[in-house]
Amino acid sequence: MKTTTHGGWWPQRIGWRLALGFGVLVALMLVALAQAIFQIHTITGVTQRFATGDMQRLLRVQALSLQTEGVGNALIRLINAPRDSRVREYADVDERNRRIDGIVESLAHDLRDADQEENLRRLVECRAAYAEAFIATADEIEADNPKAAWQLLNDRVNPALKTMLLESNALLQRERQRIETQLEEAQQLFDRVALLVACLSVLAVALAIWLGVRTTRSVVGPLAQLEVAAQRIAEGDYTSRVPTTRTQEVDRVGQALNTMTDAVAQRERDIVHLAFHDPLTGLPNRTALLKSVLDTDQSANTLALMDLARLKAINETLGYGTGDTLIQQAAQRASQALQDATADGLIGPHPVVARLSGGTFAAVFCAPDRAAVEALRERIERAMAEPVHCSGHSVDLSLTYGLADSGDLCESGKPLSVDTLLRNAEVALHSAKRSAIGFAWHSEAQEAARLSHLSLLSDLRQAVATSQLQMWLQPKFSLATGQAVGAEALVRWQHPTRGFVSPAEFVPFAEQAGYITMVTQWMLEQALRTLAAWAPTHPELSIAVNVSTRDLQHKGFAERVARLIEASGVPAKRLRLEITESGLMDDPQHSVALLHALREIGTPLSIDDFGTGYSSLAYLQKLPVSELKIDRSFIDKLDQSPGTQKLVRAMTEMGHGLDLMVTAEGVETEAERKTITRLGCDVIQGYLTSRPLHGDKLQAWFDALPPAQSVF
């Protein structure tokens, strides 16, 4: 931008410019005023001199002429006057002579030029001649010789008086001339003063106009620049700066505008950052993940979903602060592991790690093959090995992985879209959560398995009808007394061609297809039949049947259960129903109503797999349940994990607080048993005390039972 080329004297501040402009203006006005006062003073002096000196003199000279004329007449009256009135006439003549003398006397001190002095000298001579002639004339009058007196008057007095009058008139003429000259000079002086004051005023006006224009332009120009800059900022251009001008005030505003622009730009960056980043971890969010992969790395072929296990339970029991710390730690460690893997060439450059929700993270990258991805997963596992210490707790970081790739190498072909990869990884994560190994690939095999499950499902209907299903019972024992309190009923399927099919394999699909209700019905019948058989010797034992969400969704499920119980003749409280925590959370409001209906028929309810779902404490309080079954993932190696022990203790205390019986599932070692006992659990269920039993083995176990009292 062009800068103005002012001289060095031109001030850089508008304030100084205005002060300079007005200062010069005021100074000029003062000079004009001083000039005017000075000149008026001079004019007053001239006028005064004129009034007191020149006019006085003129009047005196006029009076001299008048007296000179008057004395001639007075002498005529004296000559003609009778003797007795002569004294008055003498006095008149004397008076006039005295006045003439007085005027001549005063003029002698007051005359200004040589000509006038010459006139006066001649006038004085004539006066002397007149005085002599007057005395001679007076003598003739006293001698009563009027003729001689007239003679003297005409011959001597009148010529002397005439000469005096001439001289006096000459003086008068001269004085008039002088006054005229002086008046002319005064007029010239007035004209000069007027011209000077006019010039000064015109100069001041011109200067005022010049200063006004210059100051205005020097302010308006930079202000226009500011306006343009502000317009640019409004249009979102934060890069260009307001240029410096030679005006300090405007520069200060420009500086403020620049600062404001920086602040606005920073705030805009923050907002964009917030829109695309997760505030807790600083990682990109789901939107940013999809966007950044599209923007930067078209060759990404693998997506790993990582889910922080048991986050909900940790939040509920150890507080949200601890949960947040875990999320941050997991984010940090996973990001670092990915960076290291990139540096070591295990995976391609620019991996993107994002936090999708809660404890779920996604990593998108390019990997040469699945072996590399699994090596990466192991690295992440190692990075997570160290427990997180947070507000006095030591908590394990455990991740479940859902892995998906586009099945191609980076270089070849067009990889799957991130969207698809994400969906596939979600499917894989889902199945990983069901399996014990903690990770799963989304694969063709998985798809095939899904399809084979579908064919399996069509067999299931047959299975129920042709007694391919079996009910196995896994005993549960009181930790306080060591006595059996009952058993959990677990379904087994002996497929005619496939052999044994694990419930973990078909139950989820049977649930999806709605076939599970047949299984539940069958299991309920079996359980009630067994309870009826046990009643004579061990009426205190109960059997728990697993109920799926699909059962709960069926209208009239509670009535059906009630009818079955009634038909069996078994007390309703001996049949327990287990509902998974996650199942309850699928439709919490409906679940609460249904559980109440079930509770009304007298069947106690248990929350299965507690700690893996997302129920809140407030929600639990509303449920009419009587047992909490802590998920076996918490019990696994519990004795070696102080952090998990704290969780289990908290869950147990919470359960007791709500008057619930607390059962530990999947106890496999003596150490785990000791730990759950110490932590306050009430009931133990697991391979340590008994595997699920069937047929002869079940019968043998039952026969060996000592008579006992139920804890219920």
Residues that bind Ca ion (CB under 5 A): 546, 578, 608-609, 665
- 608 makes contact with ligand C2E (CB under 6 A): yes
Q: Which residue, 43 or 449, is less far from ligand C2E as judged by CB? A: 449
DSSP category for residue 693: B
Enter the tokens of residue 20. Answer: 């300079």
Binding residue (CB under 6 A) for ligand C2E from 504, 567, 617, 700: 504
Pairing of strands 302-308, 360-365: antiparallel
Enter the tokens of residue 26. Answer: 């005021």
Q: Which residue, 352 or 648, is less far from ligand C2E as judged by CB? A: 648
Q: Closest separation between CB of residue 502 and ligand C2E, Å?
A: 5
Rule CB under 6 A: which of 59-88 touch ligand C2E?
none
The closest of 614, 663, 598 to 634, measured between CA atoms, is: 663
Instruction: Choose the contact partner of 523 out of ligand C2E, Ca ion, none; CB within 5 to 8 A by kind.
Output: ligand C2E
Q: Which residue, 316 or 581, is less far from ligand C2E as judged by CB? A: 581
Q: Which residue, 101 or 639, is less far from ligand C2E as judged by CB? A: 639
Q: Which residues pair with 458 in a beta bridge?
A: none
Binding letters toward ligand C2E, positions 621-650, x by CB under 6 A: -----------x------------------
The whole-angstrom separation of Cα 532 and Cα 539 is 9
List Cα–Cα distances, 389 to 194, 326, 337, 396, 683, in angstroms: 98, 9, 20, 9, 30
Angle among Cα 616, 327, 315 to the nearest 5 degrees reads 20
Instruction: Choose the contact partner of 456 out of ligand C2E, Ca ion, none; CB within 5 to 8 A by kind.
Output: none
DSSP category for residue 638: G
- Say if CB 353 and CB 283 are below 8 A apart: yes
Q: Tokens 């030591």 belong to which residue?
A: 394
Q: Closest separation between CB of residue 581 and ligand C2E, Å?
A: 11
Instruction: Choose the contact partner of 505 out of ligand C2E, Ca ion, none; CB within 5 to 8 A by kind.
Output: none
For the beta carbon of residue 573, count every other beta carbon within 10 angstroms.
Answer: 15
- 435 makes contact with ligand C2E (CB under 6 A): no
Binding letters toward ligand C2E, positions 256-275, x by CB under 6 A: --------------------
- 362 makes contact with ligand C2E (CB under 6 A): no
Q: How many helices (H) and strands (E) in the chain? A: 24, 16
- Say if CB 351 and CB 342 are below 8 A apart: yes
- Give the end-to-end CA distance of the chain in Å, rounded to a whole number: 90
Which amino acid is located at 46 in the chain?
V
The whole-angstrom separation of Cα 322 and Cα 612 is 17
Instruction: Choose the contact partner of 548 out of Ca ion, ligand C2E, none; CB within 5 to 8 A by kind.
Output: ligand C2E
Binding letters toward ligand C2E, positions 446-485, x by CB under 6 A: ----------------------------x-----------
Q: Which residue, 250 or 519, is less far from ligand C2E as judged by CB? A: 519
Q: Closest separation between CB of residue 671 and Ca ion, Å?
A: 21
Q: Closest separation between CB of residue 608 and ligand C2E, Å?
A: 5
- Please enumerate in sequence order all residues whose Cβ is within 8 A of that of 606, keeping only pairs 6 or more positions apart, or say none: 544, 576, 577, 578, 579, 625, 626, 627, 628, 629, 663
List Cα–Cα distances, 37 to 28, 187, 194, 196, 406, in angstroms: 14, 17, 12, 12, 103
Q: Which residue, 245 or 633, is less far from Ca ion as judged by CB? A: 633
Q: Closest separation between CB of residue 295 and ligand C2E, Å?
A: 43
By CB atoms closer than 10 A (0-12, 13-18, 19+), residue 134 is: buried
Q: Which residue, 230 or 688, is less far from Ca ion as judged by CB? A: 688
- Interface with ligand C2E by CB under 6 A: which range of 372-380, 389-397, 420-428, 496-504? 496-504
Q: Closest separation between CB of residue 484 and ligand C2E, Å?
A: 15
Q: Which residue, 285 or 474, is less far from ligand C2E as judged by CB? A: 474
Q: Which residue, 226 or 595, is less far from ligand C2E as judged by CB? A: 595
Q: Closest separation between CB of residue 446 and Ca ion, Å?
A: 24
- Say if CB 487 and CB 429 are below 8 A apart: no
Enter the tokens of residue 178. Answer: 């002088």
By CB atoms closer than 10 A (0-12, 13-18, 19+), residue 409 is: middle
- Say if CB 572 and CB 602 are below 8 A apart: yes
Which amino acid is located at 63 in the chain?
A
Instruction: Choose the contact partner of 668 out of ligand C2E, Ca ion, none; CB within 5 to 8 A by kind.
Output: ligand C2E
439 — phi, psi (to 5°)?
-150, 155
Q: Which residue, 442 or 632, is less far from Ca ion as judged by CB? A: 632
Binding letters toward ligand C2E, positions 668-697, x by CB under 6 A: x-----------------xx----x-----
Helix (H/G/I), strand (E/B), else coil: 222: helix
The whole-angstrom separation of Cα 344 and Cα 341 is 5
Q: Count of residues binding ligand C2E (CB under 6 A)? A: 24
Cα dihedral: 489, 490, 495, 498 (round 10): -170
- Say if CB 534 and CB 541 are below 8 A apart: yes
- 523 makes contact with ligand C2E (CB under 6 A): yes
Q: Which residues pair with 321 in a beta bridge?
A: none
Q: Which residue, 399 or 684, is less far from ligand C2E as judged by CB? A: 684
Q: Which residue, 247 or 644, is less far from Ca ion as judged by CB? A: 644
Instruction: Choose the contact partner of 316 out of Ca ion, ligand C2E, none; CB within 5 to 8 A by kind.
Output: none
The whole-angstrom separation of Cα 214 and Cα 220 is 10
- Interface with ligand C2E by CB under 6 A: which range of 244-252, 453-461, 516-524, 640-648? 516-524
Q: Closest separation between CB of residue 667 and ligand C2E, Å?
A: 6
Q: Which residue, 95 or 511, is less far from ligand C2E as judged by CB? A: 511
Q: Closest separation between CB of residue 401 and ligand C2E, Å?
A: 20
- Say if CB 296 and CB 350 are below 8 A apart: yes
List Cα–Cα distances, 326 to 308, 321, 332, 633, in angstroms: 9, 9, 10, 18
- 666 makes contact with ligand C2E (CB under 6 A): yes
- 537 makes contact with ligand C2E (CB under 6 A): no
The closest of 117, 128, 110 to 170, measured between CA atoms, is: 117
- Interface with ligand C2E by CB under 6 A: which range of 120-128, 355-363, 518-526, 598-606? 518-526
Q: Which residue, 322 or 542, is less far from ligand C2E as judged by CB? A: 542
Q: Which residue, 130 or 634, is less far from ligand C2E as judged by CB? A: 634
- 546 makes contact with ligand C2E (CB under 6 A): yes
Binding site for ligand C2E (CB under 6 A): 474, 489-491, 502-504, 507, 516, 519-520, 523, 546, 548, 608-609, 632, 665-668, 686-687, 692
